[in-house]
Amino acid sequence: MASQTSSRTKGQIALLVGGVVIALVALAIAAGGGTAVWADTTQKDSQGYISTAKHDYSSASRAIATKSVHLGTSIPEWLLGKVRIEAVSGDSSHPIFVGIARKKDVDAYLAGVDHAVVEHLDWNPFRVSYEQRPGTRVPADPAAQSFWVGSAHGAGSIDLKWETSSGSWSVVVMNADGSPGVDARASVGISVPNALWIGIGLLVLGALVLAGAAAMIVSGWRRRPPGPQAPAAEGVASS
């Protein structure tokens, strides 16, 4: 009987611990859903994009490139949205170019070119640091290259839109003539299809998982009635 009581106690502890862990997961799922609903209903602009504020990106080199941005093949096509980059040159006398291409094509294009690679980026508060890649080669006219999957160039404000697809990608900002001294002010926006319904689905899933976790916690916390006790042993009469 002692082993049954011990086993029951271990089972209750397991329910409590498991319930708490699952509750934390449920809260994370619900928080993700709530964020998606909030962003979709309050943060989208008239074109359906959720965008960062405009921030300054500058380098004395000939180009600024991001590290590899990987979109996995496991992401369903209906979840892949659109990206929009709005940029304006800090110097109106230098029209700028913004392009998106596969990372391997960007690496080949900038090989031997003095450029900066974004090493670390924080949005709030905004901070960006670069890794400098020295070089002496003058890059070919960026707008004339055929490997870009999306690009825009010109004086004043430019607007690049790209429908995302799986792969490893890089964003490049440079002066339209390839000259050194890049100075741009840019914002990045994303449009995710069905974001509202995804958010609602996550909220419902979080609520269901949380209900299951609550049932586990209650079951583990509830004090069980003690089991029947064995009768006291009778003394053996001496003959």
One-letter amino acid for residue 233 of the chain = A
SS3 at position 105: helix
What is the DSSP code (8-state) at residue 230?
P
| pLDDT, position 5 | 46
Facing residues of 168 across strands?
Answer: 70
Kindly tell me the burial class for residue 214, based on how many C-beta atoms sit within 10 Å of its own C-beta (0-12, 13-18, 19 or more): middle
pLDDT at position 28 is 82
Can you name the CATH fold of 45-192?
Jelly Rolls (2.60.120)
pLDDT over 70 percentage in the chain: 72
Assign 122 a pLDDT band (cuts: 50, 70, 90): confident
Q: Which pair of tokens denotes residue 187?
A: 């914002």
Q: Could you tell me if 34 and 166 are in contact, meaning their C-beta atoms sit under 8 angstroms apart? A: no
pTM: 0.65
HSE-up (13 A, CA, CB side) for residue 27: 8
